[in-house]
Amino acid sequence: MPNDVAIAAAETVDDPTWQALARLLPQLSQSARPDRAMLARVVAHEASTLLLARIDVRIVGALTLVIYPLPTGLRAHIDDVVVDEAGRGHGVGEALVRAAISEAHRQGVRTIDLTSRPSREAAIRLYTRVGFVRRDSHLFRYQPTRSR
């Protein structure tokens, strides 16, 4: 992990945070449409933590941790993990995931889940390295009509 990377939860969506996420989210998915109001909802939401990775003052990566209670216990999900293209391969992604694991552990979750497409080789290497184990399950998705 680079010595100079600092991980912290976003507390507001100020201009630097919005500009960084507007740059990072399209690197996660070409179909991403960064939305400042949605980011503000993420930051304000009790269940969600938007973790930001900074080198000096520059935001170079982000991850969202969601912690939610279920009848079977407190569970966590990690989503939208992304590191700026220019800064990959130096452990920023690992630092973000380890910080999410620490926070989930601190809150007493039973499990932390995440999904990743097979083509995301770098992500799969990273998740495996920090201790995630592949589970045999099907991912189902239902897409409500987009007319809403």
Ligand X SMILES: CC(C)(COP(=O)(O)OP(=O)(O)OC[C@H]1O[C@@H](n2cnc3c(N)ncnc32)[C@H](O)[C@@H]1OP(=O)(O)O)[C@@H](O)C(=O)NCCC(=O)NCCS
Of 7, 10, 92, 112, the one binding ligand X by CB under 6 A: 92
Interface with ligand X, residue 112, by CB under 6 A: no
Of 7, 50, 94, 104, the one binding ligand X by CB under 6 A: 94
Tokens of 39: 């980011």
CB of 26 to ligand X, least distance (A): 10
Dist. CA 37–CA 40, nearest whole Å:
5
Of 25, 54, 116, 132, the one binding ligand X by CB under 6 A: 116
Binding region for ligand X (CB under 6 A) out of 9-17, 38-46, 105-113, 124-132:
124-132
Half-sphere exposure of 5 (CA within 13 A, CB side): 24
Dist. CA 11–CA 90, nearest whole Å:
26
Q: Where are the alpha helices (DSSP H) in 1-148?
A: 15-28, 36-44, 92-106, 121-129
Contact (Cβ atoms closer than 8 angstroms) between residue 58 and residue 64: no
Of 89, 108, 118, 144, the one binding ligand X by CB under 6 A: 89
Q: Which of residues 14-73 bind ligand X (CB under 6 A)?
A: 27-28
Interface with ligand X, residue 129, by CB under 6 A: yes
Interface with ligand X, residue 91, by CB under 6 A: yes
Annotate 22-39 with DSSP letters as a single string. Answer: HHHHHHH-TT----HHHH
Interface with ligand X, residue 118, by CB under 6 A: no
Interface with ligand X, residue 11, by CB under 6 A: no
H/E stretch holding 18: helix 15-28
List of residues contacting ligand X (CB under 6 A) = 27-28, 81-83, 88-94, 116, 120-123, 125-126, 129
